[in-house]
Amino acid sequence: MSYLVGIDVGTTGAKVLLVGADGGIVARSTHEYPLLTPRPAWAEQNPADWWEATAAGIRQVLKQSGIPPQEIAGMGLSGQMHGSVFLDERSEVIRPAILWCDQRTADQCRWITDRAGEKTVVEETLNPVLTGFTAPKIVWLRQNEPEAYARVRKLLLPKDYIRFLLTGEFATDVSDASGTSLLNIARRRWSPKMLAALDLSEAMLPTVHESPAVTGGISPAAAEATGLAAGTPVVGGGGDQAAGAVGNGIVRPGVISVTTGTSGVVFAHMDEPRVDPRLRTHTFCHAVPGKWHVMGAMLSAGGSLRWYRDALAQAEVAEAKKRGVDPYELLTAEAASAPPGCEGLIFLPYLTGERTPYPDPWARGVYFGLSLRHGRPHLVRAILEGVSYGLRDSLEILRGMGLPMSQVRASGGGARSALWRQIQSDVFGAELVTINVDEGPAFGAALLAGVGAGVYASVEEACDRTISVNQRTRPDPDTSARYDAYYPIYQALYASLKDRFAEVGRLLQ
């Protein structure tokens, strides 16, 4: 049997999967690394941490499995999108990478839109310029750290920095490049108009490939560092959402995915590029060659529950450690004792700003409706419900675009909770299904590697051979009706607070 490796350079850690050609998981490893927040609304990481975690993960899965490195047919890469790795003439990192959830670039977004012209921006990139995207980070560096910018010779996205260390190649794929504000998404190539408007050279950027295309082979130095065989093919891979969609089988029209990880994403496949008229969602190239996708992204989905765990749930964390269980199990068990609707308590999950449907870097988290009656179960359940309302925002936009929805697939850490799946099903008013594999972008990256290595004839075939539905969660009509009554209130809260969010943001600056 041939084996495949999939790597996901995530926000909290690097995940490495060793997968058989039948889709079976042979070995897995995750190594975490820190998130740096040197100032309010900033988010950075050291690329060296990604490499150390990735190399350690590869060594670990090889050791766990006992599979000879020569039997690995290919490797695929995925990772957090939009981050910027700046390299100098010696290909060394100049400064910490600025991440997707960093919100410092609001002024640069306006500058780019004014400089290129809003019409050109939308025609070329099919999206507005947003604070999470890559191009504003380049402009921010030029305007705020000119000495560092003067040294820049190459710009890479997070997973593509790992590709460079593995293969020595400067390359990316169309799905990840879609989030830079520099790609002509309809033509699937760098945009000369956007580069000219920003006074950037294409030589600064990696070459662009379709996701299953082989972009290089493991170098002798990387082979020594990881235990892989030199020459092992490495394919283009995909941004975390596109690769995750492949791993969920979202490769044909009609099947929608709802992913609840650190961020939350509602994702739909498209045979042709289509755009929400109000630009509330993102239209990007898919990891399926010649296809596109539309997605709504919220920045703090599972991240909101993680914030609660770290900031307010020390007792549950200690108890979980004593019992040898996951703290989230205790938190969701606690939340189950609160009634649907939390007796009027509503949570806005905008802890790091928001993207869909509100591209607002200054939006912030809110508990609305607190009373003496509310206790810890209400606080936790309100987060689960608030995130679900936020995901419904994106789902409603896709419905409004007329996209077919024959099935909604739930994935990510949130989908492992039966309570959260039920809440989402009730809030959406739709059946949710889960599949036999829930390994996220790393699994999709492995399937893409299989296509590039000839193990599968196409991305669609790879999904058909490895993915099947295994569980269904149906909405409760009475609970759905209760959530339908609360949802408009949730929507109205942002409009009421928008100006206040901006005022606080200016004070922080």
Residues serving a catalytic function are 240
Residues 471, 421: Cα–Cα separation, whole Å: 11
Peptide bond into 253 cis (omega under 30): no
DSSP class per residue in 233-279: EEE--EEHHHHHHHHTT--STEEEEEEESSSEEEEEEESS----TT-
Residue with the two structure tokens 């009706």: 481
Neighbour count for residue 483 (Cβ, 10 Å): 22
DSSP class per residue in 360-414: BTT---EEES--TT--HHHHHHHHHHHHHHHHHHHHHHHHHTT--EEEEEEESGG
The strand pair at 171-173 and 207-209 is best described as parallel
* Cα-trace Rg, the chain: 22
- Residue 117: Cβ-neighbour burial (10 angstroms; 0-12, 13-18, 19+): middle
Amino acid found at 263: S
DSSP class per residue in 96-153: PEEPTT--TTHHHHHHHHHHH-HHHHHHHHSS---TTSHHHHHHHHHHH-HHHHHT--
Question: Taking the mean position of all CA atoms in its chain, how far away is CA 305?
Answer: 17
